[in-house]
Amino acid sequence: MAKDKDDKKKTSNYSAESITVLEGLDPVRKRPGMYIGTTGPDGLHHLIWEIFDNSRDEAMGGFANDIEVALLPGNRIRVVDNGRGIPVDVHKQTKVSALEMVMTTLHAGGKFGEEGSGYKVSGGLHGVGASVVNALSTYTRAEVHKDGGIYFQEYSEGKKKASVKKIGTTKNSGTIITFRPDEKIFPDTNFDFNKVVNHLRQQAYLVKGLRITVIDARENSEKEVKDTEVFYLRELSLEAPSMSFYFEGGLMSLVRFENALQKPVHKNIFYVEKNTTEYENVEIALQYVDDISSRILPFANNIYNSEGGTHITGFKTALTRTINNYARKNNLVSEKEDNFTGDDVLEGLTAVVSVKLREIQFEGQTKGKLGSVEARGMVETVFNDSFGAFLEENPDDAKAMIQKVVLALRARKAAKAAKDSVLRKGALEGMTLPGKLADCQSKSAEESEIFIVEGDSAGGTAKMGRDRRTQAILPLRGKILNIERARLDRMLGSEQIKNLVVALGTAIGDTFDISKLRYHKIIIATDADVDGAHIRTLLLTLLYRFFRPLIDAGFVYIAQPPLYKIKKGKEVMYAYSDEEKNKKIGSDISIEDIIELDENTTEEESEENEEVEENTKGKDKKKVAKISIQRYKGLGEMNAEELWETTMDPKVRILKQVTVEDGRDADKVFDILMGTDVPSRKSFIQSNAKKATLDV
């Protein structure tokens, strides 16, 4: 009974006073992920995109043509445009300056009003961009050049410091927003200059006639920058890295840029731009290249939609239909040949699909996927008509495209036959696992892990040192096939790859099923030398191209075996880097007391080095243990106990999880490193050599 009384008492205390109301921008600071997706690097950079999008919307409306983004000392960002300037007059509804309302109120902006009063189209759909950035910054400054006057207001954590104030006169027109992200919200507030450059370069392609400048002034002093004394920071002629982008070619220029490392299949790039209504527009460019991957870049109101959306659905439908119709009509395929599938027509395709809508709907504030239903019909109609006409008017290009798609269709059939053969063989043998695989006892994928190791020597050691209950070992013989430009049928002809596919259990290609994965940790364990790095890259290429969901789900890891074994008397230590080795040796040890061992050192010689010697200095006698250091070149040099306690024991081992931050950047890196363009690969290696850890 006492418990019932307590429960009633608790219930009676639940009243209106128990409801917390978050006012102003407090909800943003409380739940930042709802507004910017994450507080990691992507969310941090999303702050720049939100402010830039407001300036870019001015350019899309024809009110601006010059935007500058500067990275300033103290992790501040400064974005300038020469647009109309945010209104500063008092808003009739709220009785405060429009500038203050835009910067401190959610869902306030020039994107919700009547037609003609704000923007025809905009990327900043939700009207929360500037206010969200303001809320998540310790300092924000808005400076507006408008109607001959300069107005400014400063904020902290979304709250104004004072009212909007006029501070001078100007001949310029536009807006300057400066902000510093809050370190309490973002664990890391260091911006990536290359990430900013890549994103803004893309935006310059999307808005013809727009100049975008990016400046990295973080290494300059506050005194040098003087960002409040000039309109554009470039007026200061700083010695700082900077890039400027301006493209008249629009999407055609973007397709050429994306295909810079590829061999085009046809000469002319297809391009169409058409207004479907006064406020709606479709723009598409495409070109086929000699590759087996596809690259489709979707945009809605110039926002990159990483997850696609309705406009891409319409594009793919029209592409498949148009190519099938043209091929049949012009007898470019035999009557017995099957119709092309969506996968067939996408192989080797580079395409940019951009739509602009007055009323636009994204799925989530980060705008990763377009949800506007009308976009599908718009794209389907415009692309179907214009692409059909392009094929008729350019028969040589059309024939080359069809031949590329026919090759993809036949390769798909060959791959299916090869895959079915592998699966049939497995079924006939009772899904026999590869003979080289030492499987684990557990049947639970959640607790099981597979180590993919290099060679039989390391495989034998790993088998002896593992935990048989949860750890499986699959040794590879030599280097696997480079699959970057290999089709599925050729891949499955490789015994090494076939063994890996069967061991994982997910199948491959269109029958891939991640729910059948036999291990939730796929651990690549290769030697710490050039060959080991090459094998690791080949495996990552295979997993990225054909098992991408495994990486996205966080199932792929790289083992970090130690580089050094350090013996100090009877004490044994391991070091995973040169810095850690030096730290464990200590600074008070003389060179004479350090003995370097190698793989040829015998056990007897190693034991001799453990002996303690007397070091006599004057009257004092001090026993000093000599230190022996062994540099591991490969996993095979370790015995089973060493491999377990350094690399395989879940309690102490170091694993690096493989993730993909930017799929398009990853595609380019794999194209360069594993493709056929030797000059590009050489240039990439030379440019990134300083980032490499060398073992000389």
Q: Residue 541: give its domain's CATH number.
A: 3.40.50.670
pLDDT of residue 542: 87
Cβ atoms of 426 and 432 closer than 8 Å: yes
Token pair in block for residue 632 = 């591991």
Please indicate, yes or no, whether residues 453 and 524 belong to a single structural domain of this protein. Answer: yes
pLDDT at 69 over 90: yes
Structure confidence at residue 590 (pLDDT)? 60
More reliable by pLDDT, 30 or 689: 30
pLDDT of res. 15: 38
Note whether residue 145 is domain-resident: yes
Q: Which of 117, 119, 159, 122 is nearest to 137 (CA)?
A: 159
Q: What strands, in cross-sheet order, belong to the sheet with 303-304? A: 270-277, 280-288, 349-356, 295-300, 303-304
User: Tell me: the pLDDT tens digits for 322-342?
Assistant: 999 999 999 988 888 889 999
User: Residue 636 above 80 pLDDT?
Assistant: no
- How confident is the model over 35-54, as a mean pLDDT? 90
- Which is it for the CA torsion 195, 197, 199, 202, positive or negative? negative
At residue 143 the predicted structure's pLDDT band, cuts being 50, 70 and 90, is very high
Looking at the structure, do residues 315 and 336 belong to the same domain, yes or no?
yes
Residue 240 lies in a domain: yes
Q: Which residues contact 669 (CB under 8 A, 6 or more apart)?
A: 684
Task: With beta carbons less than 8 A apart as the criterion, state whether 557 and 655 touch.
Answer: yes
- Asked whether the predicted pLDDT for residue 618 surpasses 50, the reply is no
User: Long-range contacts: 592-596, Cβ < 8 Å, 24+?
Assistant: 593/624, 593/626, 593/627, 594/626, 594/627, 594/628, 594/629, 595/626, 595/627, 595/628, 595/629, 596/628, 596/629, 596/631
Query: Residue 576's pLDDT band (boundaries 50, 70, 90)?
Result: confident
- Give me the pLDDT at residue 139, please: 95
Q: Would you state the pLDDT for residue 392?
A: 95
pLDDT digits (tens, 9 = 90+) for 423-474: 555 543 445 678 789 999 999 999 999 999 988 888 899 999 999 999 999 9
Region of poorest pLDDT, from 264-273, 383-392, 635-644: 635-644
Distance (Å, whole) CA 17 – CA 25: 21
CA–CA distances in Å: residue 418 to residues 292, 412, 431, 434, 502 = 17, 10, 16, 17, 14
Residue 9 lies in a domain: no
| Distance of alpha carbon 432 from alpha carbon 423, whole angstroms | 10
Q: Are residues 639 and 696 in the same domain?
A: no
Residue 425 within a domain: no
Query: Quick check: is 423 in a domain?
Result: no
Residue that is last in its domain, among 378, 413, 448 = 413
Q: Is the pLDDT of residue 671 over 80?
A: no
pLDDT at 338: 85
pLDDT at 21 over 90: no
Residues 338, 582: Cα–Cα separation, whole Å: 65
Domain enclosing residue 670, as ranges:
664-696
Structure confidence at residue 692 as a pLDDT band (50, 70, 90): very low
Q: Tell whether the model's pLDDT for residue 71 goes beyond 60.
A: yes
Cβ(356)–Cβ(280) under 8 Å? yes
Question: Do residues 454 and 475 make contact, with C-beta atoms less than 8 angstroms apart?
Answer: yes
Which is more confident, 693 or 252?
252
Distance CA 446, CA 504 (A): 13
Per annotation, catalytic residue among 343, 385, 456, 531:
531
Is 592 in the same domain as 676?
no
Name the percent of the chain lying above pLDDT 90. 45
Q: Is residue 403 over pLDDT 90?
A: yes
Cα 502 from chain centroid (whole Å): 29
List pLDDT tens digits, range 177-226: 999 999 999 999 999 999 999 999 989 999 888 999 999 999 998 888 87
The CATH number assigned to the domain holding 343 equals: 3.30.230.10
Same domain, 275 and 216: no
Residue 454 is a catalytic residue: yes
531 included as an active-site residue: yes
Instruction: Determine which of 114-123, 148-157, 461-470, 564-573 has the lowest per-residue pLDDT on average.
Output: 114-123
Average pLDDT over residues 124-146: 82
Establish if 12 belongs to a structural domain. no
pLDDT greater at residue 515 or residue 492: 515
291 and 267 housed in the same domain? yes
14 assigned to some structural domain: no
Identified catalytic residue from 385, 529, 580, 593: 529
- Per-residue pLDDT reduced to its tens digit, 93-117: 778 888 998 898 876 555 444 444 4
Least confident range of 578-582, 589-593, 678-682: 678-682
Whether 527 is catalytic is yes
Note whether 187 and 295 are same-domain residues. Answer: no
575 with 539, same domain? no
Looking at the structure of the chain, the number of domains it has is 5
Nearest alpha-carbon partner for 80 in 68, 63, 62: 68
What confidence score (pLDDT) does residue 145 get?
95
Q: Let me know: does 383 contact 389? Beta carbons within 8 Å.
A: no
Give all strands (DSSP E) within 97-202, no chain letters.
137-146, 149-156, 159-160, 165-169, 174-181
Predicted local distance difference test score (pLDDT) of residue 11? 46
Whether the predicted pLDDT of 518 surpasses 80: yes
Q: What is the mean pLDDT of residues 539-544?
A: 87
User: What is the identity of the amino acid at 684?
Assistant: F
Q: Across the chain, what does the average pLDDT equal?
A: 82
Options 53, 454, 484, 667, the catalytic residue: 454
The pLDDT of residue 457 is 83
Looking at residue 694, its pLDDT comes to 38
| Beta strand 295-300 pairing with 349-356 | parallel
- In the annotation, is 695 catalytic? no
pLDDT band at 617 (very low <50, low <70, confident <90, very high): very low
Least confident of 382-396, 531-545, 645-659: 531-545
Record the tokens describing residue 354, joined without a space: 């951009």
Q: Are residues 275 and 147 in the same domain?
A: no
Residue 304 confidence class, pLDDT cut points 50, 70, 90: confident
Indicate if 174 and 54 belong to the same structural domain: yes
Are 578 and 522 within one domain?
Answer: no
Q: Is residue 428 in a domain?
A: no
Residues 64 and 210 in one domain: yes
